[in-house]
Amino acid sequence: MKIFTSFLFIITFLVSCGDQDQSNETFSSDQGLSQEHKKEFKKDLIEVTEDIYVGVGYGLANSIMIETENSLVIVDTLGSVERAEELYQDFRDISEKPIAAIVYTHNHLDHLGGATVFYNENETEIYAQENIIYNLDNIATTIRPIIFQRSARQFGIPLPEEEIVHQGIGGFLEINDQETLGLVRPTILFDESLTIEIDNLKFVLVHVPGETDDHLYVWIPEKQAVMVGDNFYRSFANLYAIRGTKFRNPMEWVDSLDKIRLLNAEHLVPSHSRPISGKENVEKALTDYRDGIQFVHDQTIRYANKGLTPDEIVQKVKLPKHLAVSPYLQPFYGSISSYVRSTFSGYIGWFSGNISDLHPLTVEERAKKLEVIAQRQTKISDEAKNALDNGEYQWALELADMLIALDENNTQAKNIKAAAADQLAKFQLASNDYYFYKTVAGELRNEIDVNPSTPNRVTSEQLQATPMKAIMKSLPVNLNADKSVEITKKYEFRFIDSEEVYTIHIRKGVAQLSKIPDSSAEVKVITDQQTLKEVFAGLKNVAAISLLLANNTIEVEGGKLEFLKFLGLFTD
Domain count, the chain: 3
Tally the residues of the chain: 572
Question: C-alpha dihedral over 506, 512, 515, 519, to 10 degrees?
Answer: -40
pLDDT in tens, 204-217: 999 999 999 999 99
What is the pLDDT, as a whole number, of residue 14?
A: 34
What is the pLDDT, as a whole number, of residue 178?
A: 86
What is the pLDDT, as a whole number, of residue 182?
A: 96
Do 59 and 135 have their domain in common?
Answer: yes
Do 97 and 217 have their domain in common?
Answer: yes
Question: Is the confidence at residue 24, as pLDDT, over 80?
Answer: no
What is the pLDDT, as a whole number, of residue 99?
A: 97
pLDDT in tens, 74-114: 999 999 999 999 999 999 999 999 999 999 999 999 999 99
Do 208 and 266 have their domain in common?
Answer: yes
Q: Which of 402, 419, 444 is the last residue of a domain?
A: 444
Do 243 and 209 have their domain in common?
Answer: yes
Do 87 and 220 have their domain in common?
Answer: yes
Do 270 and 403 have their domain in common?
Answer: no
What is the C-alpha separation between 564 and 572, in angstroms, rounded? 14
What is the pLDDT, as a whole number, of residue 456?
A: 62
What is the pLDDT, as a whole number, of residue 197?
A: 97
Question: Is the confidence at residue 10, as pLDDT, over 50?
Answer: no
Q: Which of 233, 254, 274 is the last residue of a domain?
A: 274
Do 407 and 488 have their domain in common?
Answer: no
| Residue 308 domain flag | no
Do 268 and 404 have their domain in common?
Answer: no
Do 425 and 548 have their domain in common?
Answer: no
pLDDT in tens, 238-274: 999 999 999 999 999 999 999 999 999 999 999 999 9
| Mean pLDDT of all residues belonging to the chain | 92
**Residue 155 or 9, more confident:** 155
Question: Is the confidence at residue 318, as pLDDT, over 80?
Answer: yes
CATH code for position 498: 3.30.1050.10
pLDDT in tens, 113-165: 999 999 988 889 999 999 999 999 988 788 889 998 999 999 998 999 889 89
HEC readout, 269-335:
EECCCCCEECHHHHHHHHHHHHHHHHHHHHHHHHHHCCCCCHHHHHHHCCCCHHHHCCCCCCCCCCC
Q: Which of 410, 444, 478 is the last residue of a domain?
A: 444
CATH code for position 80: 3.60.15.30
What is the C-alpha separation between 127 and 197, in angstroms, rounded? 13
Do 424 and 480 have their domain in common?
Answer: no
| Residue 34 domain flag | no
CATH code for position 372: 1.25.40.880
Do 139 and 70 have their domain in common?
Answer: yes
| Residue 332 domain flag | no
- Does an H or E element contain 461, and which? helix 460-464
pLDDT in tens, 497-521: 999 999 999 999 999 999 999 999 9
| Residue 564 domain flag | yes
| Residue 314 domain flag | no
- Does an H or E element contain 402, and which? helix 393-406
| Residue 365 domain flag | yes
| Residue 438 domain flag | yes
Do 440 and 474 have their domain in common?
Answer: no
Closest of 304, 284, 286, 306 to residue 296, by C-alpha: 304
Which of 366-370, 429-433, 452-456, 497-501 is the least confident region?
A: 452-456
Domain limits for position 501: 460-568
Q: For residues 361 and 398, is the Cβ–Cβ distance under 8 A?
A: yes
User: 308 pLDDT band (50/70/90 cuts)?
Assistant: very high
User: 437 pLDDT band (50/70/90 cuts)?
Assistant: very high
| Residue 527 domain flag | yes
Closest of 404, 477, 385 to residue 443, by C-alpha: 404
